[in-house]
Amino acid sequence: MAVPAGTMAIAPTAAPAQTGKGKAKSRRRRFKIADMRILTQVFGLIFGNAMLIGLPLFGTSNILRHIYLPNASTKFFIYAPTYATLYKVQDTVFSGWNSSYIDLLVPLLIFVTLTIPLGRVWCAWLCPLGLPQDLLTRLRRRLGVRHLEIAPHHADFIHSLKYLGLAVIVFYTFALGAPFFDLKRMWNALPVPYEQFDPNRALYTYLQMAVGLAPPSTHVPIMSVLVTILFIGTCFAARRFWCHLCPQGAMMSLFNKTAFVRLRKDPDKCTHCRICYRVCPMEILNVYEQRGSSDVSSEKCVHCYNCVDNCPEDGCLSVELLGKKVVESKYRCQCDESGVRT
């Protein structure tokens, strides 16, 4: 641990030569991660996981249909050739009693293959529910409405609800399908739960109807409409509130702490200014509080990297993929981005 005195003393003399004129400027990160994310999300919405125009591009492919995505892509996107794992899990849990749930194996294997490397990266970068949340947050800021500050212990409680939600969904579906529960009567009232209140369903079906992608007669369950209204409402009160509760997020969170994508912090460079905590939509305190370990990855993190984006210390926070640094924090004057020249 102790750095030999010699290296401490001698290293600096080399430092002045490194920071020449051009180098200091070229090293400056010009783009904002938040903007990159919006771009990726729009791209993902159109061509990727949500596949608004997926079918015309790829056609109905049997193989593609079975590559279930870990994030909240709904089964009800008209042109989406594939959909989220949770739907597949529900369907197989419901119908799998007779086949001993053997059909669960493939979707879960695909899920694990996609989630072990990336964790919840899907949430902030590709999920079709992330984009509306981010855009509505921008709108909320424009309107000058401040979000609610959720205290860390409350946030922890809300975060834990997602696991409860996931457990309830899986258990209820299991109970529906398992003969000894004899819940067939419930089938009419609430068939397969997540389909009914997925905010995606109402959000995008109406959008698709509006632009003529979906026939106007498409059925949207009333629950989904209500949840969507709630979903939009929360965007004006809290940041990425749905991500706190999302059952698909809960599934991914199981692998988030061990994902190949890591958030790292150089505790020596940290000034404990608390900015990372203030800008974190998931209210993760650890990034701010951590003083010892360099790994500040969290089970709750959706990998939006607002913290890396806003950290004013060069190289203090960084994102690593398999030990390779992808991006790191860099001081920048906030005035630059609001269009005011220095």
Partner 1 sequence: MKDASGGAQRVQRYMNRELAEGAAAHRDRIREAAAAQAQKHIAAMKALARPKAMEYFDEMSDHFGTRAEELRKFKEAGGKVIGSLCYFAPAEIVAAFGAVPVRFCSGVYEAVHPANDLLGDAGLCPLVKSTLGLKMSGASPILELCDLVIVPTPCDAKLKLGEILQDMVDVHLMNMPAVKTTEAGRQSWIGEIKGLVAMLEKRFGQKLRPHMLKKSIQTYQRAQAAWRRFSALRKNGAIWGRDALLVAQLTFFDDIPRWTQNVQKLCDELEGRGPVAPDAARVMLGGSPIIWPNWKVPLLIEESGGIIIADELCSGSRTMYDPVVVEEWTLDGMLVALAERYMMPCTCPSFSPNLEREQNMLGKIRESGAEGMVFHVLRGCHLNSLDATKASRTLREQRIPMLKVESEYDEGDLEQVRTRVEAFIEMIKARRESSG
Interface residues with partner 1 (CB under 8 A) are: 2-6, 8-13, 15-16, 19-21, 24, 141, 144-147, 151-152, 267-275, 278-279, 291, 310, 312, 331, 333-336, 338, 340, 342
Instruction: Tell the smallest beta-carbon distance from residue 125 to partner 1 (Å).
Output: 20
The nearer residue to partner 1, 103 or 314, going by C-beta atoms, is: 314
Output DSSP code: residue 328.
E
Q: Which of 62/342 has CB closer to partner 1?
A: 342
Q: Which is nearer to partner 1, 72 or 275 (CB)?
A: 275
The CA-based dihedral angle spanning residues 113, 258, 296, 12, taken in that order and rounded to the nearest 10 degrees: -90
C-beta closer to partner 1: residue 142 or 219: 142
C-beta closer to partner 1: residue 144 or 215: 144
> Minimal distance in Å, beta carbon 205 to partner 1?
32
Rounded to a whole number of angstroms, the minimum distance from the CB of residue 130 to partner 1 is 18
133 Cβ contact partners less than 8 Å away, ≥ 6 residues apart: 235, 239, 240, 241, 242, 243
Angle between helices 247-256 and 152-177 (to 10 degrees): 110
Contact present, 90 and 194 (Cβ < 8 Å): yes
Sequence length of the chain is 342
- Least CB distance to partner 1 at residue 307 (A): 11
User: What is the spatial distance between Cα 222 and Cα 219, in angstroms, rounded to a whole number?
Assistant: 9
Local structure of 7: helix, strand or coil: helix
Tell the smallest beta-carbon distance from residue 278 to partner 1 (Å).
6
